[in-house]
Amino acid sequence: MLHLSGIAPLAARYDGFIVDLWGVIHDGITAYPGAIACLHRLRAAGRRVVLLSNAPRRSAAAQDTLRRMGLPDDAYDGIMTSGEATRAALLARTDPWFASLGDRVWHLGPDKDSGLFEGLPLRRVAGPEAGAFVLNTGPDDALGETDPERYLPALRRAASLGMRMVCANPDLVIVRGGQRVTCAGLLARDYAAMGGAVRQVGKPYPEVYEPVRQMLGLPDARILAVGDSLATDIAGAEAAGLDSCWVLGGIHGEAVGDDPDLARAEADSAGLRPTVAVPRFDW
């Protein structure tokens, strides 16, 4: 694993960059000024940039959030979210697993993710007993984001009914403004432990990289995937057969800091081999 101080040397090696959002471009509240500048430098150098996020909402909604953070549309070429990929799978139903889900869905998640249902031939129900499957976008507004145990009774009811779960965000936790909060992936992990069938959409699963490849229009050897999470960003890049750049200052920042030896040990313990590591997504 090569250690660099910034992204600039990589602009000569790669023509396309797949860039994570949370922990790389922003902290959930504020965009990192150095990251915005880095995106502009890549675009000015003629490099193509697609943002790939495990946000469980439409790409347009994620784009609106970035605009409010001060990230302009011309800083990147495209954006794909796990929510957008989930919606596409539920709409197309070409995958046999999705084709057999039925149309009555119990949404486990906050109201802000409701845009995911727009244009889908689904009937939303109030609880597990009336649903055919669960669409999990994360903790809801009523029970909050910090205590996953509050969700266990409803998950147990759904599992006892044999409901399958679609998880639109494989992340376990995120750091928002310095505080760790629960994500959909943690609830999906609990559901699977109860014997529930789960289908996850997003990083690290390679299917989510296909629309991103189409946006970039480049050979895999000329694409670098950038992210802060070993479990999703780096593992996802490896599963997709892409080189990866690990941003150390994100979700693993407390564990490894900028120490190359600690970073190498952390990656080794996860069985992963990032191509390169940088402290932050700076030029």
For 136-159, the pLDDT digits (tens) are 999 998 888 888 999 999 999 999
Confidence of residue 178 (pLDDT cuts 50, 70, 90): low
Confidence of residue 177 (pLDDT cuts 50, 70, 90): low
- Domain end call among 166, 200, 234: 200
CATH of the domain at 227: 3.40.50.1000
- pLDDT of res. 251: 83
State how far the alpha carbon of 240 is from the alpha carbons of 130, 162, 184, 274, in Å. 37, 31, 22, 13
Q: Are 170 and 205 in contact (CB under 8 A)?
A: yes
For residues 117 and 191, state if they share a domain.
yes
For residues 46 and 110, state if they share a domain.
no
Domain that residue 239 falls in:
2-54+218-278
Q: What is the mean pLDDT of residues 74-88?
A: 97
The domain tally of the chain equals 2
In a domain, 208, yes or no: no
pTM recorded for the entire structure: 0.93
For residues 15 and 120, state if they share a domain.
no
For residues 239 and 173, state if they share a domain.
no
Beta bridge partners of 79: 51
**Cα maximum dimension of the chain:** 56
In a domain, 76, yes or no: no
- Domain end call among 200, 233, 259: 200
Beta bridge partners of 168: none
Q: What is the mean pLDDT of residues 247-255?
A: 87
For residues 154 and 249, state if they share a domain.
no
For residues 134 and 183, state if they share a domain.
yes
272: tokens are 């992963």
> At 183, phi and psi to the nearest 5?
-120, 175
Q: What is the mean pLDDT of residues 260-277?
A: 94
For residues 164 and 92, state if they share a domain.
yes
In the chain, alpha helices (H): 33-44, 59-68, 82-92, 96-99, 152-160, 184-193, 209-216, 235-240, 253-256, 260-269
For residues 134 and 226, state if they share a domain.
no
Confidence of residue 252 (pLDDT cuts 50, 70, 90): confident
Q: What is the DSSP string of 165-198?
A: EEES---SEEEETTEEEE-HHHHHHHHHHTT--E
* Tens-place pLDDT, residues 68-78: 999 999 999 99
State how far the alpha carbon of 30 is from the alpha carbons of 34, 68, 70, 88, in Å. 12, 9, 9, 29
In a domain, 235, yes or no: yes
CA 168 to chain centre: 9
Q: Are 24 and 250 in contact (CB under 8 A)?
A: yes
Percentage above 90 pLDDT, the chain? 85
In a domain, 24, yes or no: yes
